[in-house]
Each structure stands twice: as structure tokens, then as C-alpha cells.
Amino acid sequence: MAKATKKQALGRGLSALLKDPENDIHSVSDKNADKVVGNIVELDVDSIEVNPFQPRSNFNDEALNELATSIRELGVIQPITVRKLDFNKYQLVSGERRHRASKLIGLKTIPSYIRIANDQESLEMALVENIQRQDLDPIEIALSYQRLIDEIQLTQEKLSDRVGKKRSTIANYMRLLKLDPIIQTGMRDGFVSMGHGRALVNIDSKEDQIALYERIVGQGLSVRDTEHAVKARRKGHGASGNPSLLNKVPEFAKNGMAEISEHLDTSVAINASEKGKGKISIPFKSEEEFLRIKKAITGA
């Protein structure tokens, strides 16, 4: 307990040091830089801006509220990482969920590791650190890999060494970016898995990808079912010998599906016969989302 108190007091002391304009630190060679860089410092929450290089773009409100509750009870157990931009101004490298949750419950300061890095180094640190996280969705990971290759000029071989992943694993993630954006969104929202995506990417036609995606969501097809469906289509026949595996949605239903999806603020799937008979499937991931959709439909 004494060590924890001493460490916390040290963090507060360094925080005061950083607020002194006479001792502002811009590089690792500046006076007192060794006392700050690489240490945990209590920084004002409002002095930290979000990282434009952050690969995560989806933040689940329920999970964020759970984290906020945990922080309220236990404090921020794992410090965030920031880089120094200017006097009393910092930018997140990693830990945006902790930063958001801390602001949510009104914390004034947050424990932070301070780094000094340029834009390219910050981009690489943010992407590499976030790729190691377990809660990024497959598309976020694929986009992070793509950015490291495009903006840091890494080959897949060098990227493999940098992030500690097999080259084949990296290639499998990046192939997901060939999927239609609607399917990528469905994967990010949890309606289909990476296994479904890896099967669908073997279909060249985006229209056929979407048609099978709608069947997956609407009929609850497993990854194995999807793989069989893709193989059957590539052989030129459906699972039951029909000339086409994929569900042919009438034009009137296609036109209305986007409006329904927009109104309910969620993905929907339509299955229909050539005669026009069919059904609309509306998936949900939780009781809260079900109640939200119900209210959008019934108004109560």
C-alpha cells in the first residue's frame, strides 16, 4: 500500500512539473525529460485529444458504461498511453475506451504513460498496440494492417515480424476488405463472423455476395453451411440442383429493404420466391436492441 501511495504521489508531482511553462518538455534531451517520458503521470482528462490514427471506430455503449462503472469503483487500473504535442497538450496513442469512460463519469485526471513521437511513429504505435487487443473486430484489424502497409511502407513479411502474426493470418484478414461494404458493416456489427466473411470473399460478384449474406443473416446459416453454399455456386449449381444457389430478391423488395433498414437503424434480410412471397428477418444482439427495434416498429 505504501508503494502505491508513493507512486501516486510521484505521478501528481510530475503532473505539476508538466504544468510549469518554464520546464516544458519537447524532446527526450530536454531537462527533466527522463523524469517524465516513460513514467506514469496524472494528466488532466481535458488536456488529452483523441488519436486520428486510432483504428477503432465502433464503441459499444453498453460495454463503455460497464467500463465506466468499473473505473468508478476501482479507478483506472491500466494507464493510457499518450504522446506530448505541446505545452499541457497530449494525444492518445492507446486507451481511448478508458479515456472515454473516465470522461463519462466526470474524472478530472487519468494515469498516463507519456511518449514523445512524431506522427508516423504515433501512427505505428497506435496501430500495432491496438492490433494486439482482443476486442477489435476483424474489419478494424484488416484496416489497421492495410494502413501499416500503405502509410508505414511495410511489406507483409515485415508486418508479420512487427505484430507477431503469421503472414497467412495477415493475408486472411486483408482479404476481408474485398467484401462488399454492406457485408463489412455486418461483420463489424456482429451479424456474421470472420469465418462467414472468409467464405464470402471467394465470390467475385458483389451482388452475389450480398444475396448470400442476406441468406446467412435471415436463415442463420453456419460457417460450414456458407462454405458449402459458396462451393456449390462455384460448381454452377445450388445445393438442391437449382440453377442458382442464391436467393433472388424481387426488385420491389430490394428497393424497400434499404428504407426498412434505415428506419429500424439495423441490418435486415429478405428472402423471397420468384412469385413474390417471402419474409423479412430482423436480427438483434441483445434485449436492449430488441426493445429498441420493437419501439421503432410499434411506437411503444
CB 148 within 8 A of CB 124: yes
Q: How far apart are CA 191 and CA 168, in angstroms?
A: 25
Q: How far apart are CA 236 and CA 111, in angstroms?
A: 59
CA separation for the pair 215, 239 (Å, rounded): 13
- What is the crossing angle of helices 156-163 and 167-175, to 10°? 110
What DSSP designation does 50 have? P
Q: Which of 49, 62, 73, 96 is catalytic?
A: 96
Coil, strand or helix: which one is 104? helix
Residue 65 C-alpha cell reads as 458504461
Task: Decide if 83 contacts 122 (C-beta within 8 A).
Answer: yes
3-class secondary structure, 170: helix
Catalytic residue status for 274? no
Asked if 233 and 203 count as a contact pair (C-beta separation under 8 A), the reply is yes
Residue 276 C-beta-side C-alpha neighbours within 13 Å: 2
Catalytic residues: 96
